[in-house]
Amino acid sequence: MAGYFQRIHAQTPTEFWINNATLAEAEAAVAAGALCATTNPTYLARLLVEEPGYVADLIDDGLRETDDIEKVVDWVHQRAVGRLQKLFLPIFESSGGKHGLVAIQGNPRCNTDHDAILNGALRYRELGENIVIKVPAWPAGAAALEKLVEMEIPTIATLGFSVDQAIYIAETYRQALKRSKTRPPCYVTFIAGVLETFLTESAEAQRLSRSKELIRQGVCEASRAAYRIYKSRGYEAILLGGGARGSHHFTDLVGGRLAITIGWSIARQIIASDPSVISKIDEKIPDEAISELEMGLPDFRKASQENALSPEEFHDFGPVVSFQESFLKGMNTLLNAVSTHKSGAVLKKAGNR
């Protein structure tokens, strides 16, 4: 009998992707029906906990290549993502390039420098033809995305937490397609799970009587609002749900032509519960509920309404800042790990003299 994700793919256009997976998790996800894989700058910090020996070996190999800590971090990052790239390559080849993509994201400290984003993208594409490049969903990332479209390189616009960001990137991609003879896919994130956490914490900090269930419904509604706009305007870009913190961040969006990337722990919960395939993408919460959320949580309005944020405001939007900080923290964790390994290698070398 087909599992839940196989049934999703057979009965709907919704796609299951796996996020920040160890090798064992990625293999299990592929067996369960995962079509693509995503990673972000917290990936190596997770692997340091889940597969410490593997990362330590990569760091040691990198330090034999160079003593530049930042270059070692980039080297380790590429090797770890390259492992997933190889796993998903057969899916890419058998699907004619439609599936089997593996996402990689560059140094988050360079997210406002479109030249640095682009240079990193060109390096990462050398890992394989099924590598998809992540760029931030703000002006610097949009500028890099336009160039990547010209070079026929698939992209994912990350750090997306608002309808306005989703529209901005979709319009950027549409204009790029008009100037280009190529049509590489472009996915645009709406990171519902992280947005839900951010709004819940905001409500608690303000002592607002907004239930977690109401916020949960509102965040999924914001995702659906972006999807409705994509569908009505016929955007060529494809929405990518992400940042899942619960199974509802997948199951409440099923039915649309979109992809949703989730961690293996949540995927495993869904597989174990084996729910029915129910299309929920066209559901809508009552206007009164939306008004209640907007009244106490202005960031909800900014996330869910069109013309609530300008491109110049994307970078400083609360949930964007929060997620970017998690990326920087993940980067610093790996930098510290490499520095520690380097110091240990130097002391060991000195002791052997």
> Quick one: 2 exposed, middle or buried, by C-beta within 10 A (0-12, 13-18, 19+)?
exposed
Calpha distance 17→221 (Å, rounded): 21
Per-residue pLDDT tens, the chain, 353 aa: give them.
Answer: 689 999 999 999 999 999 999 999 999 999 999 999 999 999 999 999 999 999 999 999 999 999 999 999 999 999 999 999 999 999 999 999 999 999 999 999 999 999 999 999 999 999 999 999 999 999 999 999 999 999 999 999 999 999 999 999 999 999 999 999 889 999 999 999 999 999 999 999 888 877 888 999 999 999 999 999 999 999 999 999 999 999 999 999 999 999 999 999 999 999 999 999 999 999 999 999 999 999 889 999 999 999 999 999 999 999 999 999 999 999 999 999 999 988 865 434 434 44
Length of the chain, in residues:
353
Q: What is the pLDDT of residue 351?
A: 40
| Adjacent-strand bridge partners of 239 | 188
b/e sequence 57-80, b meaning 16+ C-beta within 10 Å: ebbbebbeeeeebeebbbbbbbbb
Q: Where are the domains of the chain?
A: 4-343
Q: What is the model's pTM?
A: 0.95
Q: What is the pLDDT of residue 350?
A: 38
Q: What is the pLDDT of residue 2?
A: 82
Q: What is the pLDDT of residue 9?
A: 97
Calpha distance 278→284 (Å, rounded): 15
At the fourth CATH level, which superfamily is domain 4-343?
A: Aldolase class I (3.20.20.70)
Give the DSSP letter string of 24-41: HHHHHHHHHT--EEE--T
Residue 41 contacts by C-beta under 8 Å, 6 or more apart in sequence? Answer: 105, 107, 108, 327, 328, 330, 331
Q: What is the pLDDT of residue 210?
A: 73
Give the DSSP letter string of 119-140: HHHHHHGGG-TTEEEEEESSHH
Q: What is the pLDDT of residue 182?
A: 87
Q: What is the pLDDT of residue 307?
A: 98
